Amino acid sequence: MDDNTSAASPLPVYQLSPEQIAGPYFRNPKLIRRNVSEGMDGIPLVLRLTIIDAMTGQPVTGALVDIWHCNARGAYSGWSKVNPDKEVDVDDIGSIPRTDDDTYLRGGQFTDKMGIVRFTTIYPGFYAGRALHIHVAVRITAGNNYLEERHVAWVGQLYFPEVASRSVLNAREYSGRAVSPLTNAQDMFHQRMGGEASTLNIHTIGRDSNEDGFFGHMTIGVDTFAVSSQIKPEDFDKYTV
C-alpha cells in the first residue's frame, strides 16, 4: 500500500461558489413563495438553484434561499421610486431610504431533499452602472422558527450570458431606456468577485421564440458553517424588513 496515498488528507469535494456584495436593496419580507413575479411585465424566467455543501458534496436540505432582483425597467420593490437611470454610489444594506412597501420580484424557498429550489420570475432588466444580475442569499435554518433565522452562510449574484441578455433587452418591456447596461466584462463586481463562476446556464423554453421565456440553472457550493460578511445579523435590524 502507498503510505503517501493513505495518509493524504481529504480535500473538499465541491468548489465554494464566490460571494458577492448584497447591495443596498436587500429586504427580509418573509415571503415564502415559488412565483415571485407578482404580474411584472417581462420575459418569463424559470430559475432552478441546487445548493451543495462544498465540504461534503451533499445537498443542503432545508436551507432558506432568498432571491431579489430588479424589474424590466431596473427598479427594485421597496425602492420603486429610485431612478434606475442614475447611478447610486452606495452599496451597503440600508444605505438608500425605502420609498414603498412593494414586494415584487422577491421571495424565498426552502431547499428540498436534493438541495433544490425553484422560482418563477422574469428575466431582470438593469439599472445604471451594473450588468444584469439576480441576488441570492442562503440561510442555514435550525429548529422551527425559520423566518427569524439570521445565519446567512452565503450571499451571491447570478449573471447572464450576453447573447441571451441582448435578445431580452430588445423586447418591448426592456427597451427605450436613457442609459445602456454594462456588459459582464464591464461590471466591476462581476470582474472582481468571481462573476465568471456565477453565470447561469440559460436555455430557451420555446423552440421558435425567446418570448416563451428562459430556463436558468446553477449549482451553488456553500460552507454551511460559514457566516457571511455580506449580510450580517445586525443587517436584519435595519429598515430592510
pTM reported for the whole predicted model: 0.92
Cell digits of residue 78: 421597496
Cell digits of residue 139: 440561510
Q: What is the pLDDT of residue 111?
A: 97
Is residue 1 a part of any domain in this protein? Answer: no
Domain assignment of residue 128, given as a range: 16-237
Reply yes or no on whether the pLDDT at 27 is more than 70: yes
Reply yes or no on whether the pLDDT at 7 is more than 60: no
Backbone angles phi, psi at 238, to 5 degrees: -80, 170
Residue 192 and residue 67: Cα distance in Å, rounded?
21
Q: Which residue has the higher pLDDT, 215 or 207?
A: 215
Q: What is the pLDDT of residue 208?
A: 67
Residue 47 and residue 200: Cα distance in Å, rounded?
9
Q: Which residue has the higher pLDDT, 210 or 110?
A: 110
Q: Check: CB of residue 188 under 8 Å from CB of residue 51.
A: no
Is residue 4 a part of any domain in this protein? Answer: no
Is residue 7 a part of any domain in this protein? Answer: no
Q: What is the pLDDT of residue 9?
A: 44
Number of domains the chain is built from: 1
Is residue 189 a part of any domain in this protein? Answer: yes
| Average pLDDT of the segment spanning 105-131 | 97
pLDDT digits (tens, 9 = 90+) for 78-92: 999 999 999 988 889
Reply yes or no on whether the pLDDT at 216 is more than 60: yes
User: Can you give the CATH number for the domain in which 131 is found?
Assistant: 2.60.130.10
Residue 132 and residue 124: Cα distance in Å, rounded?
6
Q: What is the pLDDT of residue 187?
A: 97
Is residue 205 a part of any domain in this protein? Answer: yes
Is residue 99 a part of any domain in this protein? Answer: yes
